[in-house]
Structure 1
Amino acid sequence: MTTPDYYYVIIGGGLAGLQLALRLHQDVFFKGKKIAIIEPSNKSINDKTWCFWEEGRGSWDHLITKKWKKGKFISSEITKDLDLDPYSYKMLRSLDFYEYAKEKLETSENIFFIKDKITKIDQVTRTAIGEASNYTATHFFDSRPPSNFEKDEKSSIIYQHFKGIKIKTEKAHFNPDVFTMMDYRIKHKDNTCFTYILPTAKNEALIEFTFFTPSLTDEKVYDDKIEQYIRSILKIDDYGELESEKGIIPMTDYPFHDQNSKYITKIGTAGGWVKASSGYSFKNTERKIDKLIDNIKSGLKLSANLMSKKYQFYDAIFLDVLEQRNDLGESLFTKLYTKNSIQDIFRFLDEETSFSEELKIMLSLYHAQFLKSFFRKI
């Protein structure tokens, strides 16, 4: 084989691709290795807002828009105050991340941004085939999910789909020190859906209406529910819309990791790096990349130990419950937040708990559907 064009090719310049490129750039182990980031778009707009929790200072604190130490969970019947200490809940705009990453990486002599869309990877010739050109490499990091994963009959899938608007009011309506994790008072049919509020000032907040459902809905539904929440719950009549965002995040137990091979490692959503039971991805991606880098430097298979079978099974059961009985969402999340500390919930979602702690959380959620889903998945 002739000398490849690049040592690594990263297909996709989103969250996973840029986080990976930054880690490769920062580590002297990879000094001198040519790396290409191939992405069809300019990543020049704020297309999403990432939120995550962590203890103390983190790698991205210089980019965050806002952080909170206190939150709320609200159902039809209860309001639970959430004291997050020692954690903080942090908000990061995607555009700020894209601009920071590009500024850092464009100064590198061995990292190249290429605007193109990859349609196929030929593993025999180790060639990524693009619409504009072809690119050879010793290894590919591929963020493109397989086209058929949503139709896999063996897998459960719940879509986290949402629309959010950032509003500004003339009067002070928000407490900027407290965010709302979930508010179930505005409903839509028998769906699992809630409102999520990130206040950035006394008169500014991002308000998102979010579904966890097996199917999607029309954009008008989001608009109507956001308007209803602002008018009837927040009691705000006059406000201006500063910006909006919308998205669809697949929460699934599809075995993305089975797509890894000797020359291709799937990353991001395509690698199963979105936490299947919650839809959170930012810190999960950071942890997966740390492990990936360790594997490379240790001479291990790149995808070794990236996924925990135990937590994948927990996620699969929970997804199946919501897929079979989507009407149970409010009840299940109410049990989760009222019968467990927010610290234990965070550690469980971060896959840091012991089996006894996991058992306590699972028992707190008990419903007969869990047994049915357990046997369906086992």
Structure 2
Amino acid sequence: MLGPVYYYVIIGGGMAGLQLALRLKNDVFFKGKKIAIIDPSFSVKKDTTWCFWEKETGQWDKLITKSWKEGNFKSSLGSQHLKLSPYRYKMLTSERFYKYTLAEIKNSKHFDLIEDEISEIDAVKMEAIGKNKTYKGTHFFDSRVPSEYFETENYTKLYQHFKGYKISTEKPIFNPEKFLMMDFRLKYKNSTSFTYILPTSTTEALIEYTFFTPYITEEAIYDKQLKEYIANFLKIDSYTVLQEEEGIIPMTDFPFEKNNTSEITKIGTGGGWVKPSTGYAFKNTERKISKIIENIKSGKEISKDLFQKKFQLYDRIFLDVLARRNDKGEKIFTDFYKKNTVDEIFRYLDEKTSIKEDLKIMFSLFDPEFIKSFFRKF
């Protein structure tokens, strides 16, 4: 059955799809254009915490749970106090994000939220084929991860996989004014693995144990590492687990962008919008969407210049080093945080640095393994 014709069809009502929909809704340029968002379910998801840094105020400030001006980095090779000003590190829960964005979009008569599962897009007929109906549009924003990603072995694939406990303690334990970016002191074998702490009060914090590895591990290992860190490093013997969250984020140099065409723009994880070397996606998504809006308004191809080739190369090299020598992660990250300022680090990760600034970062991380990976990946 053929449904109505839409100006844009957004396939996937996740973080990227809803961020895009909200920007389209709030921009007068797109007023009157009928847009569909198609997803198997629009239930409010409560299982994810997104964090990001930005200067001054931002469009999500009214939704954030907590923000910090200071943080710490720790490893067996040294520690670093992180003064973030003029940046702030911000924490946003998926529950607040989905409640807000879905409510805003549902209030617009120009959007249809459709519960269906798309199996394919016919770029000739300009149709998205679902289980229930077929949907026509002039352009499709598609968040589905292409099957080729799962099938190919021609690219580096690491995974940021983690489990977190949101805990409550009877006694004041945490400093809610400082978060812990990375703590490598509790290791799992020879892997790049660390603990991450987001304190929201003196008695509550989200504590996550995270891996950057070429493999996935068993859930029992996360639990073991979390309990050991809480007992031996935080010295907490009594606490309540209020909530658990876990996830797997791809860190890969797979060229998702090659699937962009004049009819289809890949978005979100399926578009390669997760920063390959860090796993951060929320602000990266915001930047990609801003570029898409700019391209549409200026009459350019929608996916033009969504990626910078030099940063793609940097990420490929970094991923190759970690894939071959996963034991090097602690040393690499320690050098990164101890030998560079917070401003240099955030500008580099935000892909806003010049070649001169890039070289400073690279020299701070120097290791023969990077030379090997450069020649493997260049």
Q: Tell me if 1:145 matches 2:145.
A: yes
Equivalent residue, structure 2, for 1:293: 293
Equivalent residue, structure 2, for 1:338: 338
> 1:29-40 maps to which residues of 2 (within 5 A)?
29-40=29-40
Unpaired segments ≥5 residues, structure 2: none
> 1:47-62 maps to which residues of 2 (within 5 A)?
47-62=47-62
2: CA distance, partners of 1:327 / 1:151: 27
Equivalent residue, structure 1, for 2:213: 213
TM-score when normalising by structure 2: 0.98
SS at match of 2:200: strand
Deviations 1:78-130 (A, max 9, x none): 22110001000000001100110011111111101111111111111111111
2: CA distance, partners of 1:347 / 1:8: 33
One-letter identity of the residue aligned with 1:289: I
| CA 221–332 in structure 1, closer or farther in 2 if over 3 Å, else same | same
Q: Tell me if 1:106 matches 2:106.
A: yes
2: CA distance, partners of 1:153 / 1:220: 28
Q: CA deviation at 1:4?
A: 5.8
> 1:307-326 maps to which residues of 2 (within 5 A)?
307-326=307-326
One-letter identity of the residue aligned with 2:116: D
> 1:136-175 maps to which residues of 2 (within 5 A)?
136-175=136-175
Deviations 1:132-180 (A, max 9, x none): 2211111100000112214433311110000011000000000000000
Runs of 4+ in structure 1 over 6 Å off: none
One-letter identity of the residue aligned with 1:257: E
> 1:179-328 maps to which residues of 2 (within 5 A)?
179-328=179-328
What is the aligned length? 377
Unpaired segments ≥5 residues, structure 1: none
Equivalent residue, structure 1, for 2:126: 126
Q: CA deviation at 1:261?
A: 1.1
8 Å Cα contact 1:69-1:177 kept in structure 2: yes
One-letter identity of the residue aligned with 1:322: L
**Further displaced range: 43-52 or 289-298:** 43-52
2: CA distance, partners of 1:45 / 1:18: 13
1: CA distance, partners of 2:313 / 2:151: 20
Q: CA deviation at 1:271?
A: 1.1
SS at match of 2:165: strand
8 Å Cα contact 1:4-1:138 kept in structure 2: no
8 Å Cα contact 1:50-1:93 kept in structure 2: yes
One-letter identity of the residue aligned with 1:282: F
One-letter identity of the residue aligned with 1:7: Y
1: CA distance, partners of 2:308 / 2:287: 12
Deviations 1:3-39 (A, max 9, x none): 9621110001111100100010011111111101111
Equivalent residue, structure 1, for 2:359: 359
8 Å Cα contact 2:3-2:134 kept in structure 1: no
* CA RMSD across the alignment: 1.2
One-letter identity of the residue aligned with 1:360: K
SS at match of 1:162: strand
**Further displaced range: 42-51 or 104-113:** 42-51
One-letter identity of the residue aligned with 1:241: V
TM-score when normalising by structure 1: 0.98
Deviations 1:327-377 (A, max 9, x none): 100010001011111110000000111111110101111111101100000
Q: CA deviation at 1:47?
A: 1.8
SS at match of 2:248: strand
SS at match of 1:148: helix
Q: CA deviation at 1:41?
A: 2.2
